[in-house]
Structure 1
Amino acid sequence: MITKENNTLIVKSNKLIEASYKLTAGEQKIILTLSSKIKPEDEEFKDYEFKIKDFIKLLGIKNQAKYAEVPQVTKELMRKVFTIKEEDREIQLSWLSSVTYLKGKGIVVLRFDPNLKPYLLQLKSRFTSYNLTNIIQLKSGYAFRIYELLKQYERIGQRTFDLEELKCILGIEKDRYTLYADFKRKVILKAQKEINVKTDLSFDFEQIKNGRKVTALKFIITNTTNQNNAIFQIENNNYIEQVKNIFDEDITPLEAEKIHKTANGNIYLIKEKYLLAKNQKKIKSLVPWIIKALKEDFKPPIPKEKVDSFNNYEQRKYDFDELEKKLLGWK
């Protein structure tokens, strides 16, 4: 069932992410949801139960008359064989070893193929992880694959693929999308539109040509989480007053500008560090402390060595929860 369990991580071997295969969006959601149920301590795959009604929601089937489609979906998934390339061999694998429908209980039970253990269990290195909620809303099967391939290189910020290599990884047959324009429109641009709106990543891409022919793509990868969370970021020229209004104490326009610059214009961060300062007993000088807190990203509790003595002004008694709500604009 897609509830709080969406917050659990999906952890996959990079070999599995780069394997050559193609799944529909519904099939991707099944595999990813199963993957999210694996616990770090698991040494063997388990049986994973779904209520049929939840399974149908996962597949996006809205008409109850189509419940009969579910066994066909899992049967097709059982048939999907894919290839993982190791240094000395190529391995053909299936995703599932069994699917069981419990009659009269409205439950379907799935189990991963045991040959997938090296790629999903007890991973210590060369893996990629992300939250199921970051990807579950995608509707294009290619978008799921491209997201994972870019997530691998998120910290690097870019990744280049030979065009034919990328098509192979995505499981695209050699006689399909032979024209680059079709591949760009139906695969890359379609995936880009979804990923940039529905996930924690966004990407742009550059076309690399050999003569007039596009032979490779360079993806430029951005994590949009911080951008989406910076809901208080200043977008106008009145930032000096907005920063000063956060403080109960008087600060100069120059001090406000320094704070604003240190926070890269993120009002949310300034308010966060100011709340943190209010919860300290003694700080010698408020503005320098805030600037240092922004630079070093102080988090509660603050180590003693980071706190100076502070007695410039009389400390007020604060209800921290109420103050937080007020400063964050909740009241």
Structure 2
Amino acid sequence: MTSFAINQGYQQQLFSQPMVVAPSVENEISADVIEQLNDLIMAQYEMSLFERRIFIAIIEQISNNLLEVGGMKVVPEIVLDARQIIAASGLKGESAFVELQKATTNLIKHVCKITETDGLLQVSLLSSAKYMKGKGQIKLRIDANLHPYLLKLKNQFSIYSLEKLILFKSYYSQCLYELFRKLPKQNGTIMISIEQLRKILRIGESEYERYFDFKRYIIQQAQKELAIHDTSFDFKEKKQGKKVIALQFIFK
């Protein structure tokens, strides 16, 4: 079961511009900044292709106001066209519907952990999903406690921006795309240490241990995928002896 955490103490920073102070090529990014980047980048996109498409559709349709039903505040029901989601994903046949059902199940299991002023809120990203027989529709329910946070995402990102993220083949390409958009640049460049990149991307110590693999499967893959976007880049390696300790990203 996946989860994400948002500390209410810096929500305003997290969802406003500018996010961080531009680091010089000599200074490291602060731990606070790394935590903010972790929450912003990783929280939203640690999902399969179908899950991300459903999530974007939810963000697109989320109502600005709650309804009152039986004395309780509820989020208006969201209705999705299942066939449209499947067509956009390039899948066909019964297996596509199976994958779609798997995606909604995972979103129901996807627990959000939100630190609020009066305590810790744990809430599923999706409360329920009902497939309407013979209509090709899915009716989705969202918990009212999650509503203000989804609204903030809607205000922070355009649907066009979110749609671009789901086109990337590599999960890390998505993360780097958003990172490069958020970090201010000095003379069109950003310098980040390998250690910091691993922290921001939450890469475990046993993953991509060799720099060669890290470079090939994360950096160069992202370079290939971001080549057609507004964050296309080249990079230079900064070494300490023979060891690569940082990368300078140069944006075209």
CA contact (8 A) 2:49 2:166 kept: no
Q: 1:207 Cα shift?
A: 2.8
**For 2:199 and 2:120, how far apart are their aligned partners in 1?**
14
CA contact (8 A) 2:57 2:80 kept: no
The residue number in structure 1 matching 2:87 is 57
TM-score, normalised to structure 2, is 0.62
For structure 2, which runs of at least 5 residues remain unmatched after alignment? Answer: 1-13, 20-35, 67-74
For structure 1, which runs of at least 5 residues remain unmatched after alignment? Answer: 1-11, 223-331
CA contact (8 A) 2:233 2:251 kept: yes
The residue number in structure 2 matching 1:145 is 175
- Bigger fraction of residues in strand: 2
- 1:222-301 pair list within 5 angstroms: 222=252
**For 1:80 and 1:188, how far apart are their aligned partners in 2?**
28
- Cα distance, 1:109–1:95 mapped onto 2, change above 3 Å: same
**For 2:243 and 2:123, how far apart are their aligned partners in 1?**
35
Does 2:128 align with 1:98? Answer: yes
The residue number in structure 2 matching 1:282 is none
**For 1:186 and 1:119, how far apart are their aligned partners in 2?**
33
**For 1:220 and 1:112, how far apart are their aligned partners in 2?**
41
CA contact (8 A) 2:50 2:100 kept: no
> In the alignment, residue 110 of structure 1 is paired with which amino acid?
L
The residue number in structure 1 matching 2:55 is 31
CA contact (8 A) 2:59 2:151 kept: no
The residue number in structure 2 matching 1:172 is 203
- Cα distance, 1:217–1:91 mapped onto 2, change above 3 Å: farther
- 1:216-227 pair list within 5 angstroms: 216-222=246-252
- Cα distance, 1:78–1:62 mapped onto 2, change above 3 Å: same
- Cα distance, 1:65–1:28 mapped onto 2, change above 3 Å: closer
Taking only aligned residues, the RMSD between alpha carbons, in angstroms, comes to 3.9
Secondary structure (helix, strand or coil) at the match of 1:201 reads: coil
Does 2:205 align with 1:181? Answer: no
My pick for the range that moved more, 173-182 or 199-208, is 199-208
> In the alignment, residue 86 of structure 2 is paired with which amino acid?
I
**For 1:171 and 1:73, how far apart are their aligned partners in 2?**
23
The residue number in structure 1 matching 2:40 is 17
- Cα distance, 1:177–1:122 mapped onto 2, change above 3 Å: closer
Q: 1:32 Cα shift?
A: 3.0
Secondary structure (helix, strand or coil) at the match of 1:204 reads: strand
The residue number in structure 1 matching 2:226 is 195
> In the alignment, residue 177 of structure 1 is paired with which amino acid?
Y
Q: Which has the larger radius of gyration?
A: 1
Larger relative CO (CA 8 A, sep 6+): 1 or 2?
2
Report how many aligned residue pairs link the two structures. Answer: 206
TM-score, normalised to structure 1, is 0.49
